[in-house]
Amino acid sequence: MYEAFWKEAGERTAVVIPGWRGMSYFSDAGGLCWFLEPEFEREVRRLHRLVGNAAVDGYHLVVGTGATQLSQAAIYALSPADANHPIGVVSPAPYYSAYAPQTDLLLSGFYRWAGDANAMGGDSHIELVCSPNNPDGAIREAVLSSKPGKAIHDLVYYWPQYTPITGTAAHDIMLFTMSKITGHAGTRLGWALVKDLEVAKKMTYFVDRSTIGVSRDSQLRAAKILTLVSDAYDDDKDTRRLFDFAQRCMADRWQALRATVASTGMFSLPEETSGYCTFTKQIVPAYPAFAWLRCEKESVENCRELLRGHGVLAQGGELFGGDARCVRVNMLERDGVFDVLVQRLSSIE
């Protein structure tokens, strides 16, 4: 979806990296996160201050190969090294489908995937809190009364094109990624805002030992892109503003999808929510990056298979710890793909 915006931006976001630059593993040998490019850190903090979605003052910044690596680094950092058994990692269903395989990939003796946080009790788990939630777009808080420092807030969708910015998040660990802000998934770059110094050190150690840092080239490209995003909002005459563009796209798509779902009578979607956005200074609806579509026809037990039969590919609800009558539909495809999606959904009877 974002490709059209960046094509229009053209050479304004081009980056030329001489062959001699960035050859070392080290970006800042004396820094806590020694592979973090200072230019990238500066632009990340600037963008958060502009949008007001997350506190940056008093926080350490750890860069990683997307939020995927950083979530593993955070789980590692929060896991007790002297426990008799692995600590359980949980998230309320429906939860992001990659949480379970990511958690168990390394077969760690420190932690393991334990499932739906709603089925747990006590304070002995690490909870992944995704808000707005993937797959259903819900705004969430931690559901467990875990000890302080045992929750990881995955805020990769907490940006104004997806949801009203209702306040400045100030959790212990907050994860973000380029792919969900600007669409640059292939840059493979994310960051964590971490309150506790020792946790930040352990997360840095995890990234260091698993990949010996993060691509410096990717950070330089991302810094240039984020600079353009922020500059546009500092210049009253600049009409090429990323969040405005993306919010218009999402509004049009959600309007089209809701109209189609209502006309078929076959499906349902979560109710639309809205709130006052401190960034846009107005009341705006939420436009989640994914649609949590439910088949209401009694004879259909598997919505994914129904849609597949009509040429629509979606992930089944059971992958998210949910109901097979539900599917996750991607709202961020190119215009042509999204138009075909709406057309095919409208033909299902």
> Of 197, 213, 234, which residue sits at a domain end?
234
Regions in the chain scoring below 70 on pLDDT: 122-123, 145-149
- The order of strands in the sheet holding 315-316 is 267-268, 290-295, 326-330, 315-316
Quote the domain boundaries for residue 161. Answer: 16-234
189 and 249 part of one domain: no
Q: Which is it for strands 326-330 and 290-295: parallel, antiparallel or unpaired?
A: antiparallel
Same-domain status, 179 and 266: no
CA dihedral in degrees (294, 185, 164, 262; nearest 10)?
-30
In a domain, 2, yes or no: no
| Cis bond before residue 160 (omega within 30° of 0) | no
Cα 87 from Cα 184, distance rounded (Å): 34
Residue 243 is encoded by which pair of tokens? 């969040």
Based on the domain organization, do 166 and 23 belong to the same domain?
yes
Residues 172, 294 within the same domain: no
**Percentage with pLDDT > 90 across the chain:** 90
Residue at token pair 């777009």: 137
**Same domain? 116 vs 21:** yes
Residue 212 lies in a domain: yes
129 lies in a domain? yes
* Residues 136 and 172 grouped into a single domain: yes
**End residue of a domain, out of 234, 257, 289:** 234
Do residues 163 and 55 both lie within one domain?
A: yes
Q: Which amino acid is at 101?
A: P
Q: Is residue 209 part of a domain?
A: yes
In a domain, 280, yes or no: yes
- Candidates 246, 254, 339, 226; CA nearest to 1 is 246
Last residue of a domain, one of 234, 250, 285: 234
Residue 204 token pair: 């840095």
pLDDT at 122: 67
Give pLDDT, residue 148. Answer: 54
Q: pTM for the complete prediction?
A: 0.95
Same domain, 219 and 269: no
Specify if 10 maps to a domain.
Answer: no
Within-domain flag for 26: yes
Question: 252 and 135, same structural domain?
Answer: no
Instruction: Indicate which CATH number applies to the domain containing 134.
Output: 3.40.640.10
Q: Do 188 and 104 share a structural domain?
A: yes
Q: Is 308 a domain residue?
A: yes
CA distance 92 to 128: 8
- Give how many domains the chain has, as a whole number: 2
| Kind of pairing between the strands at 274-277 and 267-268 | unpaired
CATH number at residue 331: 3.90.1150.10
Q: What is the pLDDT of residue 238?
A: 76
Same domain (yes/no): 141, 167: yes
How many other CB atoms are found less than 10 A from the CB of residue 124? Answer: 15
Judge whether 169 and 54 are in contact, CB under 8 Å. yes
Same domain, 215 and 247: no
Q: Using CA atoms, how far apart are residues 71 and 62, in angstroms rounded to an integer?
A: 11
